[in-house]
Structure 1
Amino acid sequence: MPLSQNARGAVMMTLAMGVFTTNDAFVKLVTPEMNVGQIMFLRGLMTTAMLLLLARQAGLLRDIRQMLHRKVILRSTFEIGAAITYISALAHIDLAVAATILLSLPLAVTFGAWLIFKEPVGWRRWSAIMVGFVGVLVVLRPSPEDFVPASLLAVVAVFFTAGRDLTTRRLPPALPTLLVSLFAALTNTVFGAALILPFGGWSPVSGTALMHLTAAAVLLMAGYQTIVIAMRSGEISVVAPFRYTSLIFSLSLGFYFFGEQPDAYMAIGASLIVASGLYAFYREKRRASPLACATEPRVPH
């Protein structure tokens, strides 16, 4: 039996969180050996090669000019910003902490939809956004003795990623997902190459690091595909909450690869972020339902 659009979106979002988080773990493993630009370039080069091969087999290269659609370019610009800031953050903070901060993404998407696209947001969802922001502050531990400045880079990455996701929702339906992914990988590769010297120059690549980056490239290719499919499938209020599965993946991988132990700050902060995000989605679903429209016609929630 074929999956419904909502079920398909939920499955794809869960897969996307799994592969993206595992990619993050492999990237974090190589950050002691090479800089952000070199990581983006090498990983992007392999990802681009694989996507080019898939696009050729699918017969999409004859339509490659579709990649130059202005919304695809804008989406890739956000993608580049997210890659630079998030990889930089991973080099200095725990994987689970970075992933927990990224859990606030759905709230940032709601804020961006209000700010850019003038979508209505009621006081209940504004309250949820504020609670989520408090959760981020708890994770950041903004006290002089505990605060890690690099964690702010993960916060910036949240807003870049929100811009990417908002743009993804507005891509032309006929535009092949594979071409969107290919353009993102290609532009990340080019910008990564440009950043190698400013970020400290080329470093020798060990065999282990190359294997880690190869695995990261395969996972990134899968992530590009699944996140675009997820964001273009089903209702966002149903699909987006499955982002929170990334917490399960990040805690497991952080413990396995780096021996990370979540503390009370992260547990409390993550709980606030997840609870506020789920409530915001609940209010969005209520607002969009026929019953909500009939009983609350004047007040956006």
Structure 2
Amino acid sequence: MLRSGPLLMTVSMALFAVEDMFLKSAMQEISVGLALSAFGLGGMSVFLIWARLRGQRLFHPAIVTRPLLLRSTSEVLGRLFYTLAFALAPLSLVSAILQATPLVVALGAVVFFGEVVGWRRWLAIALGFVGVLMILRPGTEAFAATSIFAVLGMLGFAGRDLATRASPPSMSNVQLGVYGFLMLVIAGLIMIAVTGPGPLPGPRASVELGLAVAVGVLAYTSLTAAMRVGEVSITVPFRYTRLLFAMILGIAVFGERPDLMTWAGSAVIVASGLYTIYRSQRGAVSLAKKPV
């Protein structure tokens, strides 16, 4: 069981990277808003059927609670900006910035949940943000304004993760999946209202959207299963494999060529995140051993 957690996490990260690849490819033909709406509608339909087959009610009373409303808002903002980012910027660059999400979550846990962080973790968080700046390089010719969308998307996902921690445990992962994909539909409709629907998808884009839905549902399911088996401290670090898969797909499919600074910044972010996870788990073990 200990080994299945990291394996499932790695599989889910690979699937998420493939999902991004299909969406990015489809958005070369159709608008971002239409792609998001279609993808969200497809994924929501799958989880709605799943919920009904399991006899779960579709509208849980907790959906109107503050944590769920914050989660939904963060999901919309995160998905909207993240999708804009990898539609306009290299997939490898956007995925590298996304890896800073755990660092922002750690910072948010201090601010909103009162968690105690020592100077080592503060240093690791600071270095992680330095890694983001290494990739962005503001004020230089290498800076791309579209990469700001990746930062905003990353902040949205961090807010979603923090709100999820405060979500009522009575909600199942299938129900959260329904609401999560519903937020994608809403994000897509917001984009359509601003930019217009654009052209309808042709055969190629339709197939890519369908594959993105199938892969996205499998990715979400694998991620949920990964967090339920084995030890969290062993499983969570394998989230960073998503960057590797995104880099490979970006280079192989879209002909991207990340420069040395992007590789270096990515390494700093991943190392900082892994150390933050290590220190948090070590601190939890120390508290557990402390005599009462």
TM-score, normalization: structure 2?
A: 0.90
Pairing partner for 1:78 from 47, 50, 74: 74
CA distance in 2 between counterparts of 1:77 and 1:86 reads 14
Contact (CA 8 Å) 1:39, 1:192: kept in 2 or not? Answer: yes
Match of 2:20 in 1: 24
Match of 2:238 in 1: 242
CA distance in 2 between counterparts of 1:170 and 1:280 reads 21
Match of 1:101 in 2: 97
Match of 1:91 in 2: 87
Match of 2:170 in 1: 174
In the alignment, residue 175 of structure 2 is paired with which amino acid? L
CA distance in 2 between counterparts of 1:64 and 1:8 reads 32
Pairing partner for 1:224 from 220, 224, 227: 220
**Identity over aligned pairs, percent:** 37
**Pairing 1:123–2:123 present:** no
Pairing partner for 2:63 from 68, 83, 88: 68
In the alignment, residue 30 of structure 1 is paired with which amino acid? A
CA distance in 1 between counterparts of 2:138 and 2:205 reads 34
| Pair 1:73–1:238, CA change in 2 (3 A) | farther
In the alignment, residue 193 of structure 1 is paired with which amino acid? L
| Pair 1:139–1:194, CA change in 2 (3 A) | closer
Aligned length: 291
How far has the Cα of 1:234 moved from its partner? Answer: 6.2
| Pair 1:228–1:274, CA change in 2 (3 A) | same
Match of 1:207 in 2: 203
Root-mean-square deviation over aligned CA pairs: 2.4
**Pairing 1:271–2:267 present:** yes
CA displacement 1:17-46 (0-9 Å, x = unmatched):
122111111111122222222111111111
Match of 1:289 in 2: 285
Pairing partner for 1:150 from 140, 146, 153: 146
CA distance in 2 between counterparts of 1:292 and 1:177 reads 28
Pairing partner for 2:45 from 42, 49, 54: 49
- Partner of 1:14, secondary structure, is helix
After TM superposition, the structure 1 stretch with the greater mean CA deviation from structure 2, 136-145 or 178-187, is: 136-145
CA distance in 1 between counterparts of 2:164 and 2:228 reads 7
- The unaligned stretches of length 5 or more in structure 2 are none
CA distance in 2 between counterparts of 1:168 and 1:10 reads 21
| Pair 1:231–1:155, CA change in 2 (3 A) | farther
| Pair 1:292–1:128, CA change in 2 (3 A) | farther
CA displacement 1:215-256 (0-9 Å, x = unmatched):
111122223334445456666543331111112211111122
Pairing partner for 1:39 from 32, 35, 39: 35
- The unaligned stretches of length 5 or more in structure 1 are none
